[in-house]
Structure 1
Amino acid sequence: MAGVTDRPFRTLCKYFGAGHAVSEMMTSDKTLRMSKKSLYRANFDGEIAPISAQIAGSDPVDLAEAARYQVANGAQIVDINMGCPAKKVCNKLAGSALLQDEDLVARILDAVVAAVDVPVTLKTRLGYLNGQENIIRVAKRAEEAGIAALALHGRTREDMYLNTARYSLIKDVKAMLNIPVIANGDIDSPEKAKYVLDYTGVDAVMIGRAAQGRPWIFREIGHYLKTGEHLAAPSIQEVKDVLLGHLSELYAFYGEYSGCRISRKHIAWYTRGLRSSNEFRQNMYQVESTAEQYKVVESYFDNLLIHGEIMSDVQVEQINLLETK
């Protein structure tokens, strides 16, 4: 979710009912700390508490220093990333690549927990390779190190985002640990959230890709878990209002050049499954200014409203299928 879960997006998800939102992954390499990208990712100004800063790296000393830096920067929780499967991250023995070296994992956990006085959480996967899942040992060691909560994605690094998430090992981990466990992977609907909670016994579920262009998924899941009933799909007017508000926040956060370009992927996600959306997106990608981009998005939705477009159940299902591929 790097490049997605920036401050504007986290704020929006919390508005729709997300109980917790973690920052984008930030490198522990202090030579990159003052880069433009890192400064954006470490911007927590005005963010709704609790503020959680996610750090990634492979050196225990560097990660401990990064944790202290983020706490001084306003973080109330430090989250260690041992789950990212991206090649550029794993090639540096960071993210899920760390699961190949359990001794290094232990030293990182001990160093970061000892470095700060705030809770330290861990996000990881079932293991590095299929057939060599080592999450039981890693999870036990994490609890021993003082990790406050464990978020577990139901795939190995080898799986990347292919195949389907497996929840049986998450269930085993939850049964073994005394700390909170959060399940992640392929949770893209209220029914799926309830199934995973019931099957695994975890304390919470984590939503990632399914919230892209659909931040109201948290509202939908929360309502379903409380009542057993489904909320109506958002109207086109609400989608328009949410998207335009999101764009305004992105423009203010990133400025003219980056704001326009970063917004493109969000616009594409919000408009999946809508009438003539592919043609609209191809035209929208050519726009070079935030003012014009806002205008073409507003015009597109106004046209949908004129023709009485609604988010039908079929469209919602199509969007769900796209999110899981």
Structure 2
Amino acid sequence: MSRPFPPPAFRIGDLVVDPPILQAPMAGFTNAAFRQMVREYGGAGLIATEMVNARGFVWMDENEAEHPERLWGVAEEPRPLAVQIWDNDPETMAKVGRRLVEEYQVSVVDINFGCPVRQVTEKAHSGSYLLRTPGRMFEIISQLVKACAPTPVTAKIRLGCSPDSVNCNEVARVVEEAGAAALTVHGRTAKDMFRGHADWDRISEIKAHLRNIPLIGNGDLDSPEKVVHAFKTYDVDGVMIARACLGRPWLFSQAAAALRGQPIPPEPSLPEQRQCMMHHYDLVKERFGEEKGTILMRKYACCYAQGKYGARHFRTHVANVSSADEFYRIVEEYFPMKTKEEIRAEREAEQAAETRAAETLNAELS
């Protein structure tokens, strides 16, 4: 299928998403520090928080406790900003949605119907568990839409609960009929977790089941070229980048440039990537203090090193750091400073030099 290119901006209610590239909400990762990193590089048309437990929010509010840690920064940071919430009770969701609109002035309230983690699905009967009960989804969405108006409400789903119970087309119709302003679809089932490949053909087929709201595709977008391919090949209005951006907050700016037909900014050098990671660490420490901030930064540091030569060795050492001094020392000693391609090129050059030396020696001996 040939698609319009470059893809136009699209609307979620009255909000214009331009460029049509969204940052996925990811539990444990997309906190205010990470969101600031993404903003500094640019390229994301809409940024999202981690998913917030609606029931936990209500409990904290009733007990006059501090609001959820996952709402850190939300009140002050730039807009547009989406906050994702989850639960299975329509009244609880509506209550929290209204608070987010009135107190935090968020741009979008997103509902998580896609999380496959057992603690959310089997224990709390939320997230992707609700895909088996579209009627319940309708109740949650419709009540939240009323509570949040005029702020738009969106939904994020998977293809279904398992490969033999794919019901994304039916669910998409329910989402729109309930009043949601956009639908995001991750191209795997809940049972798949993150194994295998996202099925973008299935995502694209959903568009025919929607009348007016935009469709956003999500899954396996780890390069600007894949983002371009998604827009050129599949019937989607927007794309959402998830895990691939965790150690590469510059990925959005690269993808946005590719969509504009401009030269794609190169990957930052390894020293620049290390500097980016240290800036990220400073932001985390500023909010959580040295000890907690250092512990929290461990997983981000592993993301920044992923795919580089020596990443495993670095992860082994950084996984146990608990102070700033330790973190700085481990980064200085072990953070990968050569790419796999550079190591390969060095080895090939060494082998070529050894071959030439052997040939020269053989020629002299003969």
TM-score normalized by the length of structure 2: 0.79
Matched, 1:14 2:39: yes
Displacement of 1:241 in angstroms is 1.7
Q: Secondary structure at the match of 2:68?
A: helix
Displacement of 1:131 in angstroms is 2.6
Say whether the 8 Å CA contact 1:14–1:20 is kept in structure 2: no
Q: Quick one: which amino acid aligns to residue 52 of structure 1? A: A
* Between 272-281 and 126-135, the greater mean CA deviation after superposition: 272-281
Q: Secondary structure at the match of 1:124?
A: strand
1:1-325 superposed matches below 5 A: 1-16=26-41, 17-29=43-55, 30-32=58-60, 39-43=68-72, 44-74=74-104, 75-91=106-122, 92-117=124-149, 118-177=151-210, 178-227=212-261, 229-298=263-332, 300=334, 304=337, 309=338, 312=341
CA distance in 1, matches of 2:36, 2:205: 33
Residues 187 and 276 (structure 1), Cα distance of their counterparts in 2 relative to 1, 3 Å cut: closer
* Between 101-110 and 252-261, the greater mean CA deviation after superposition: 252-261
Say whether the 8 Å CA contact 2:116–2:190 is kept in structure 1: yes
Which stretches in structure 2 are left out of the alignment for 5+ residues?
1-25, 345-366
Say whether the 8 Å CA contact 1:212–1:266 is kept in structure 2: yes
Displacement of 1:298 in angstroms is 4.4
* Between 278-287 and 208-217, the greater mean CA deviation after superposition: 278-287
CA distance in 2, matches of 1:314, 1:57: 48
CA distance in 2, matches of 1:62, 1:190: 39
Alpha carbon RMSD of aligned pairs, Å?
A: 2.3
Displacement of 1:295 in angstroms is 4.4
- Larger Rg: 1 or 2? 2
* Between 278-287 and 94-103, the greater mean CA deviation after superposition: 278-287
Say whether the 8 Å CA contact 1:61–1:111 is kept in structure 2: yes
CA distance in 2, matches of 1:7, 1:36: 20
Q: Quick one: which amino acid aligns to residue 256 of structure 1? A: E
* Between 199-208 and 83-92, the greater mean CA deviation after superposition: 199-208
CA distance in 2, matches of 1:291, 1:37: 30
Which stretches in structure 1 are left out of the alignment for 5+ residues?
316-325
Say whether the 8 Å CA contact 2:49–2:70 is kept in structure 1: yes
Post-superposition Cα deviations, 1:122-178, rounded to whole Å, max 9, x if no partner, equal: 111111121322111211121122211111101111211112111122212223321
Larger RCO, structures 1/2 (Cα 8 Å, 6+ apart): 2
Residues 126 and 216 (structure 1), Cα distance of their counterparts in 2 relative to 1, 3 Å cut: same
* Between 165-174 and 229-238, the greater mean CA deviation after superposition: 229-238
CA distance in 2, matches of 1:26, 1:157: 19
CA distance in 2, matches of 1:211, 1:161: 15
Say whether the 8 Å CA contact 1:58–1:94 is kept in structure 2: yes
Residues 261 and 124 (structure 1), Cα distance of their counterparts in 2 relative to 1, 3 Å cut: same
Displacement of 1:213 in angstroms is 0.7
* Between 85-94 and 158-167, the greater mean CA deviation after superposition: 158-167
Post-superposition Cα deviations, 1:55-99, rounded to whole Å, max 9, x if no partner, equal: 100010111111112223312210000000000000211000000
CA distance in 2, matches of 1:37, 1:196: 41
Q: Quick one: which amino acid aligns to residue 130 of structure 1? A: P
* Between 8-17 and 35-44, the greater mean CA deviation after superposition: 35-44
TM-score normalized by the length of structure 1: 0.88
Paired positions, count: 310
Residues 111 and 313 (structure 1), Cα distance of their counterparts in 2 relative to 1, 3 Å cut: farther
CA distance in 2, matches of 1:114, 1:129: 31
Displacement of 1:310 in angstroms is 5.2
Q: Quick one: which amino acid aligns to residue 77 of structure 1? A: V
CA distance in 2, matches of 1:299, 1:245: 18
Displacement of 1:224 in angstroms is 1.7
